[in-house]
Amino acid sequence: MTGSDDGDEDADLGDSGSERVGPDPEAADAVQEFYGRWVGLYDLIARHTPRIAAGRRAAADACRLSPGDRAVEMGCGTGANLPYLRSAVGPEGLALGLDVTGPAVAHARRTLDVPGDPALGLVRGDATRPPVRGPVDAVLGTFVSGMFPDPAAAVDRWCDLAPGGHVVLVDAAPSRRPLAAPLNAAFRGVVALSTPPTFRLRYDEDVTRMLDDRVTAAHRRLSDRAEAVATAEYLFGFVRLTGGRIPEE
């Protein structure tokens, strides 16, 4: 499968050049509009925030990949993590990025020169119902769990794709460390300003609490599904990592 595919078949991980719209693109219109509008700024932040490279490398390392493996990143954005996954799987493997936002996928395709590297792939689709056939060796989701109304169900689907492999989540959420409490106010402002559909400081619900609840639910579900679970925190506890091996049925 090459170019754009709007059919019902799932993406074959052996096809690195594929691009596809997920199974209900209208439901994600607000997300696509919001992040598509700011794709350049998002990419700048994703790649050049201080110490972010070390965090992305740690996420890729937690996937426990070997040369020849196949890895999928759910909600890959502009592809900032894909070079780290690509380095781990080598030229005989595949690092596949999936995102619902068309401009982000197009930006990643240009930046990473996907058509010129058979070990890199991009798919446009819904990460909560990934149009990807398993099994895979690893699934990575970074800063995406908090966007899903039912993050635990999404994590279940990701785990189902990787029997015997690893699933790794990295998410931003309010810090639970006492010394970081004064910084949580600033974090709440960042969350409010970066929540679709638009820039607002006031919402009908506490979006920071909602983010924390969703991230907690996602990481708890992964801990329930995985074995040999490892956790870590970064940036004063504002970034949480959970990873583990998914038992084979």
With 60 as the cut, is the pLDDT of residue 198 above it? Answer: no
Beta strands, E only, the chain: 3-5, 18-20, 70-74, 94-99, 120-124, 138-142, 166-172, 227-234, 239-245
> Is the predicted pLDDT of residue 116 greater than 80, yes or no?
yes
Q: Which domains does the chain have, with CATH numbers?
A: 3-245 (3.40.50.150)
Summary mean pLDDT of the chain: 83
Which of 42 and 76 is assigned the larger pLDDT? 76
Residue 1 has pLDDT above 70, yes or no: no
User: pLDDT tens digits, residue range 24-37?
Assistant: 445 456 666 666 66
Whole-angstrom distance, CA of residue 209 vs CA of residue 168: 22
> What token pair was written down for 221?
């579900």
Total Cβ atoms within 10 A of residue 226? 21
CA distance 120 to 46: 19
Asked if 57 and 87 touch (Cβ cutoff 8 Å), the reply is no
Q: Which residue has the higher pLDDT, 195 or 101?
A: 101
pLDDT, tens only, 15-26: 444 443 333 445
The SS3 assignment for 177 reads: coil
pLDDT one-digit tens code per residue, 146-188: 989 999 999 999 999 999 999 999 999 999 998 888 898 888 7
Q: What local confidence, expressed as pLDDT, does residue 203 receive? A: 46
